[in-house]
């Protein structure tokens, strides 16, 4: 049962290949995380809290060339985005040339609030993290009590209380 002696050159090459594989694995995980990371952006057309910017009547907001959202003062729309770099285009009702700019979303933030009035007024803080305060919790669920042999297509049934 003696261990076979491996040529040091082969052992070194093996180590190199294995190390390379680990590096490639970590790189790919990172790459897919960054490129696939989703963000929920709330496109907001409410007045700024300090009154420095007011909601725009009939602004058309389009992100990444998607269908434009027609916004009126007090409106808030939800947009799901993937990745960090995006392009926003705002068409004002006054007929001025559209405002176009790129958005860089922070990787670590899931939900952001994009204030259209602040962006149009070129104020800082037009993009900020949005934290839901009183987040509704889902109702309690019983788990592990559905042990039936059903087809994968069968709907998941919750037992009667």
Partner 1 sequence: MSGKKSLGRFLTENAVVILFLLITIAAIPSSGLSIQYILQEMITRLGRNTFLVLALILPIYAGMGLNFGMTLGAMSGQLGLILAINFNVGGVEGLAFAALLGTPVSVLMGYICGSVLNKAKGREMVTGYMLAFFINGIYQLVILYMMGAIFPIRSPAILLSRGYGIRNTLNLEGVRQSLDNLLMLRLGGYALPLATFIVIAVLCAFVIWFKKTKLGQDMRAVGHDMTVAESAGVPVDRTRIIAIIISTVLACYGQIIFLQNMGNMATYNAHDQTSFFAVAAILVGGASVKKASIPNVFIGVILLHVLFVVTPRAGQNLFGSAMIGEYFRQFIGYGVIALSLVLYAWRARKDALRAREGLRRASIAAAPEGAAK
3 near partner 1, judged by CB under 8 A: no
Contact range with partner 1 by CB under 8 A, out of 1-9, 26-34, 58-66, 89-97 = 26-34
146 near partner 1, judged by CB under 8 A: yes
In the list 50, 67, 149, 159, the residue contacting partner 1 (rule: CB under 8 A) is 149
2 near partner 1, judged by CB under 8 A: no
Binders of partner 1 among residues 80 to 109 (CB under 8 A) are: 80, 82
- Separation between Cα atoms, residue 115 and residue 117, nearest integer Å: 6
Binders of partner 1 among residues 28 to 57 (CB under 8 A) are: 28-29, 32-33, 35-39
In the list 67, 135, 159, 160, the residue contacting partner 1 (rule: CB under 8 A) is 135
3-class DSSP state for residue 52? Answer: coil
Comparing CB distances to partner 1, the nearer of 109 and 123 is: 109
Give yes or no for a contact between 111 and 130, defined as CB atoms under 8 angstroms apart.
Answer: yes
Cα three-residue angle 125-127-133, rounded to 5 degrees: 100
Comparing CB distances to partner 1, the nearer of 50 and 153 is: 153
DSSP state letter for 84: S
φ and ψ of 21, to 5 deg: -65, -40
Task: Convert 30-41 to b/e letters by CB count within 10 Å (16 or more is b).
Answer: eeeeeeebebeb
Give yes or no for a contact between 71 and 61, defined as CB atoms under 8 angstroms apart.
Answer: yes
- Of the CA atoms within 13 Å of residue 44, those in its CB half-sphere come to 22
In the list 49, 124, 143, 160, the residue contacting partner 1 (rule: CB under 8 A) is 143
Residues that bind partner 1 (CB under 8 A): 25, 28-29, 32-33, 35-39, 80, 82, 110, 135, 137-144, 146-147, 149-154, 156, 158
């Amino acid at each position: 049962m003696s261990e076979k002696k491996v040529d040091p050159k082969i052992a070194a090459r093996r180590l190199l290949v294995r190390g390379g594989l680990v590096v490639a694995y970590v790189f790919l995980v990172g790459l897919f995380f960054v490129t696939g990371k989703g963000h929920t952006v709330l496109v907001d057309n409410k007045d700024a809290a300090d009154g420095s910017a007011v909601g725009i009547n009939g602004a058309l907001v389009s992100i990444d060339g998607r269908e434009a959202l027609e916004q009126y003062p007090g409106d808030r729309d939800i947009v799901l985005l993937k990745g960090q770099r995006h392009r926003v285009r705002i068409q004002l009702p006054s007929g001025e040339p559209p405002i176009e700019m790129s958005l860089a979303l922070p990787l670590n933030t899931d939900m952001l609030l994009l204030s259209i009035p602040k962006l149009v007024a070129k104020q800082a803080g037009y993009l900020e993290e949005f934290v839901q305060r009183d987040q509704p919790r889902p109702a309690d669920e019983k788990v592990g009590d559905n042990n039936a042999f059903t087809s994968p297509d069968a709907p998941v049934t919750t037992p009667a209380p």
